[in-house]
Chains A and B, each alone.
Chain A
């Protein structure tokens, strides 16, 4: 009897404990099946996928020969041609041989048809071999950093494939080659397909080095038939009105940052709306910039740059309000924290964010995200979605030659066409953004 009573008590106690745990879960995590766990870790496949995106160039350049280049900024990740190029690069890095290191001779390099990966920042060769999973030191023993990779299939010898790593700052070209590769034919074929589809009535690019311009580095200049280039204007869009709908819309864009959207404290200050819980603060500024900060104590686990990048990408990809295509335009490291900078691509042009103008958030890129030990601790972005307007056509009246004839070209580092620059202190919603010539002078570098 006593035994049975004791057992019954134990069973009752265990039952009550289980029920209380369930009730606590239900109380704190209402609708837990659909709960948005913003901090949940990605699967191993996602991590590898995100890490590989670190090496997605900001533009893929196809050298069609005859000083004609096709440049593609858009939809590069998981692009069919890019996958073939990646496979070829992997092949050369794994089975090729090091030929030598020379100074860059652009006239020689650009004489041959090729594919060019152009990066907007310098990549450490250690990171490159990690992503390409190469165990040998064929690359790291010779190459320190690079900002371009060039893949040149051989025309005369049917099966030789050449890979160049270019470091423009150091004026170095590291040459690798594989003597026999089935991929040589595939690469040649892809370039030929692009050439066959190429229409010189559309926008294409020419090399400043080939035409003899005295720029320090090679610049790809946009070229079009005739004197004028037609393009679509873009507009910054937020579907809200300055009333309760605005707060509802913004609120829905903010709730994803919190562990429980039912427990967010909110207030309005002069320049921003503020939303917070015990760990997270989100501010929505009057100039439509959103800033997220996580004050929760981060772990002591040390992470490398690829792991931090993977965390950053995982975080951004969960933000459903990011609808424009974006690319990694650079990163910086300070005090154990890495900040990644991303910019937008629209209509195959870069959107430039007020590089010359100051704004209250000091935001220089469309998205900036800071990661510490694999945890995003700061995330700042512009809240707009930029849309191309099919019925708003404008023209560029000046060609690259008009521009450089107006300048003292000895001071110029780079000229290109960009949307913007965007000034966040202006009302972008009621204004159209145009394509403009962006001139980068040497003193700004």
Chain B
């Protein structure tokens, strides 16, 4: 009986160990399943990000004729809209302007009557911060500074 329990525990452990990476991959793979009418290939990270970029190029793939609409809501106040129809290449690319502060971006794709969307937030820092880093007035971890 004890031997049976031990064998069962061993098999169970192996199953769990093998199953975890498979489950993890499945979570990441959910963005590119066949059910998606569009996929974002660059421009949007998996999690909220911080940047100095003035513009962000959002690229992706979708069927020809799919309408891609992007809305950027800044700090829950201003709103800017972009729209493009996917051409014969099946690739789309839209430059969206980023404003200082929190840019809440929603990307919506419409193919025939099907609509899907993705939301993400990008925080743009003030250009003064970038200039301070450039002039060493602001030092990031790992930078070297001249002691005087």
Chain A residues within CB distance 8 Å of chain B = 66-67, 158, 185, 188-189, 196-197, 199-201, 206-207, 210-213, 223, 225-226, 399, 401, 404-405, 407, 409
Contact = CB atoms under 8 A, between A and B. Distances in A.
A212 B130 contact: no
B60 A67 contact: no
B81 interface: no
Contact of A211 (B55, B93, B134): B93
A196 B133 contact: yes
Nearest to B135: A196
Contact of B91 (A197, A200, A207, A211): A211
A223 B134 contact: no
A15 to B, nearest CB: 70
Contacts of B101: none
Contacts of B88: 405
Interface of B: 39, 41-43, 51, 53-55, 57, 59-61, 87-89, 91-93, 95, 130, 133-134, 142-143
Contacts of B91: 211-213, 401, 404
B59 A211 contact: yes
Contact of A67 (B43, B51, B95, B133): B43
Contacts of A206: 42, 57, 59
Given A66-B42, A67-B42, A196 B89 contact: no
Contact of B53 (A200, A211, A399, A409): A200
Given A200-B53, A401-B93, A211 B42 contact: yes
A200 B59 CA distance: 16
A428 B146 CA distance: 53
* A-B complex: 8 closest residue pairs judged by Cβ atoms: A405-B87, A211-B59, A67-B42, A212-B41, A212-B61, A404-B89, A196-B134, A210-B42
Contacts of A226: 95
B41 A211 contact: yes
Nearest to B95: A225
A405 B92 CA distance: 10
A225 B55 contact: yes
B57 A223 contact: yes
A409 B87 CA distance: 12
Given A67-B57, A401-B89, 5 more contacts: A201-B54, A210-B59, A212-B61, A401-B93, A405-B88
Contacts of B61: 211-212
Contacts of B57: 67, 206, 223
A207 to B, nearest CB: 8
A205 to B, nearest CB: 11
18 contacts: A67-B42, A185-B142, A188-B142, A196-B130, A196-B133, A200-B54, A201-B54, A206-B42, A210-B42, A210-B59, A211-B41, A212-B41, A212-B61, A212-B91, A213-B89, A226-B95, A407-B89, A409-B89
Contacts of A201: 54-55
Nearest to A206: B57
B123 to A, nearest CB: 14
Contacts of B133: 196
A47 to B, nearest CB: 38
A212 B39 contact: yes
B89 A200 contact: no
A67 B130 CA distance: 20
Nearest to B130: A196
A264 to B, nearest CB: 57
B48 to A, nearest CB: 14
A197 B88 CA distance: 36
A210 B61 CA distance: 11
A200 B43 CA distance: 13
A401 B130 contact: no
Contacts of A404: 87, 89, 91
A407 B142 CA distance: 47
A116 B73 CA distance: 37
Nearest to B98: A200
Contacts of A189: 143
Of B61, B89, B93, most buried by chain A (CB within 10 Å of CB) is B89
A189 B60 CA distance: 31
A210 B40 CA distance: 10
A401 B142 contact: no
Contact of A200 (B39, B41, B55): B55
A188 B143 CA distance: 10
Contacts of B87: 401, 404-405
Nearest to B94: A401
A49 B38 CA distance: 52
B142 to A, nearest CB: 7
A293 to B, nearest CB: 48
Contacts of A199: 54
A35 to B, nearest CB: 52
Contacts of B42: 66-67, 206-207, 210-211
Contacts of B89: 213, 401, 404-405, 407, 409
Contacts of B95: 225-226
A204 B89 CA distance: 21
Contact of A197 (B41, B51, B54, B134): B134
Contacts of B39: 212
Given A67-B59, A197-B134, A210 B93 contact: no
A212 B54 contact: no
Contacts of A185: 142
Nearest to B51: A66
A212 B92 CA distance: 10
